[in-house]
Amino acid sequence: DIQMTQSPSSLSASVGDRVSITCRASQNIDNCINWYQQKPGGAPNLLIYAASNLHSGVPSRFSGTGSGTDFTLTISSLQPEDFATYYCQQSYSTPITFGQGTRLEIK
């Protein structure tokens, strides 16, 4: 199975900050990675697919980069509604696997 390791596990930041979350795959996954946002009590929501493609309706302050084993989700200017938990997910092979999550908290 492909292991997806996110860092950091948690992050404190302020409104307006630029933040980045990384995800490292245990083997090459080309660009077969997606990013989700989950708020407390809710289901995950797709943000980025295929490493760098913004899902419809997602604000442009979100962006994704990377290929191979190392990937980054960046939020260019944090808004109050962005404080949530973020997950990466690989679709290079089954079983599909997720990272353990990064909790983004208000500083």
Q: Are strands 102-106 and 10-13 parallel, antiparallel or unpaired?
A: parallel
* Closest CB 69 distance from another protein, rounded Å: 14
* Closest CB 49 distance from another protein, rounded Å: 4
Q: For another protein, which is the closer residue by CB, 77 or 105?
A: 105
* Closest CB 77 distance from another protein, rounded Å: 25
* Closest CB 14 distance from another protein, rounded Å: 26
Cα–Cα nearest to 105, from 22, 39, 6, 46 = 39
Q: For another protein, which is the closer residue by CB, 43 or 60?
A: 43
Site residues, another protein (CB under 8 A): 29-30, 32, 34, 36, 42-46, 49-50, 55, 87, 89, 91-101
Q: For another protein, which is the closer residue by CB, 16 or 95?
A: 95
In sign, the C-alpha dihedral spanning 61, 48, 67, 73 is: positive
- State the DSSP H helix or E strand holding residue 11, giving kind and residue range, or none if neither: strand 10-13
Contacting residues for 97 by C-beta, under 8 A, at least 6 apart: 1, 2, 3, 4, 89, 90
